[in-house]
Structure 1
Amino acid sequence: MNWTDPAAIGYPAVFGGVLLGSIIPIVPTGAVVGAAAAVATTTDHLSLPLVIVLAVLGAYVGDVVTFGIPRLGSEAAFRWISRRQPAERLEKARDQFTRRGWQLVVIGRLVPAGRIPVLLAAAALSYPWRRLLPAALVACVLWATAYSLLGILSGGIFDSPLIATLLATVLVLLVTVLLNLVSRWRRKTKEKV
């Protein structure tokens, strides 16, 4: 392997960073994708379609693992969650997953800090694998595309890969903060009603 070739480092970093961040939320996965897309847009070192494919694969595998671990021990996960929730709230959650689980999975992936609670709840409530897998794939494609677009935007503004990468990271962080503020505002509005 030629370690001086940016692709030798870039592609594994995209896949590995997104996979790790999808299982253990310590890596800002959106920033990884946005930065890689910015580099792909401003240089010949990375291919944008391959960046998107690797981001989708890393996110998808991470989401399946995040869902799969508690799902395989769903009785224990359900007991753990049910100790902290009233029975009527659990039934309401089960009903929501029955009626529109795929939407919850997709929205959970797109909303900052929404993916893990949604996947854990789905696993604890025994949401079927046959429904989770296609919903998670759609969610990961939308997510990778959205964050790649932020990288493309920053790469289109600046020719410098460094500046484009920094701008993509800042844009991802701003979108994350904005979505968190909107989510908080919506929760407070619902609580008042």
Structure 2
Amino acid sequence: MDALPDLISALIVSPWLPILIAAVCIIDGFFPPVPSETTVVAVLATGIALGHDHWWIAAVAALAGLGAAAGDSVAFLIGRRFGLERLAWMRRPRMRRTTAWLAARVHAAPATLVLVGRYIPVGRVAVNALAGASGLHYRRFLAYSALASAAWAAMCVAIASVSVAWLGNPVYSALLAIGIMLLVGWGIDLVARRRMRAPSGAVAAGGPEAAGGAEAAG
């Protein structure tokens, strides 16, 4: 246990760390099981607790934001190229209802969907893939994605900083930051689900079929 701080410190200054952060954020953009949020806040909290300067923090945040935007674009291009029906997990009844709700709004409020979806691991993949499948212009999508990714990276820095201010210890600060990030994602996901269940959120004419129409547009 005494060697753990030294091991963490060595990992934080490893030359592979930038590649790891960027790769995790890119992959998470189209493969939700990869935990980009928890990885980024854990790295930031640990680095801040160990005394790394503002340049290091800014570099980690920038890599996370760039990787997140790149991952969003991959999901968008998958949706544009293949649609949603070829993705097995998107054909589940629950995801069909979600994509139907999103399809009715992707052109009316794309900025809101992309910005909010960034904080919900599975939700952002659905939003970004649907944006591609529905024919939303890529440059427009990229602008929203870049803004969302920058805000997300800034939030990771804020959560990591608060965790370190509360606990100080690198390990405990990282664990607290992970817990806070998970709670934030859970809270946003809960609000989004309630919004979808609201009467005003009902999808016109046919529910899941609306998603199929959006996919055909791509």
Does TM-score exceed 0.5, indicating one fold?
Answer: yes
Structure 2 portions without partners, runs of 5+ = 1-9, 203-218
* Cα RMSD for the two superposed structures: 3.1
CA deviation profile, 1:75-119 (whole Å, cap 9, x unmatched): xx27769x9979xx69x936x333322222212213443211111
C-alpha change, 1:78 and 1:55, in structure 2 (3 Å) is: closer
Residue 169 in structure 1 maps to residue 178 in structure 2 = yes
* Aligned match for 1:72, one of 71, 81, 85: 81
* Equivalent pair of 2:164/2:173 in contact (CA under 8 Å): yes
Residue 148 in structure 1 maps to residue 157 in structure 2 = yes
Offset at residue 181 of structure 1 (A): 2.8
Offset at residue 185 of structure 1 (A): 3.4
Name the TM-score, length of structure 1 as normaliser. 0.80
* Aligned match for 2:40, one of 33, 37, 48: 33
Offset at residue 166 of structure 1 (A): 0.9
Deviates more, 1:33-42 or 1:56-65: 33-42
Residue 6 in structure 1 maps to residue 16 in structure 2 = no
| CA distance in 2: counterparts of 1:39 and 1:158, whole angstroms | 11
| CA distance in 2: counterparts of 1:105 and 1:118, whole angstroms | 7
* Aligned match for 2:141, one of 115, 124, 132: 132
Structure 1 portions without partners, runs of 5+ = none
Offset at residue 163 of structure 1 (A): 1.0
Offset at residue 7 of structure 1 (A): 2.4
Offset at residue 125 of structure 1 (A): 0.8
Query: In proportion to residue count, which structure has more helix?
Result: 1
* Aligned match for 1:22, one of 16, 29, 43: 29
Residue 105 in structure 1 maps to residue 111 in structure 2 = no
C-alpha change, 1:156 and 1:68, in structure 2 (3 Å) is: same
CA deviation profile, 1:121-142 (whole Å, cap 9, x unmatched): 1111111112111111001111
SS at match of 2:107: helix
C-alpha change, 1:163 and 1:130, in structure 2 (3 Å) is: same
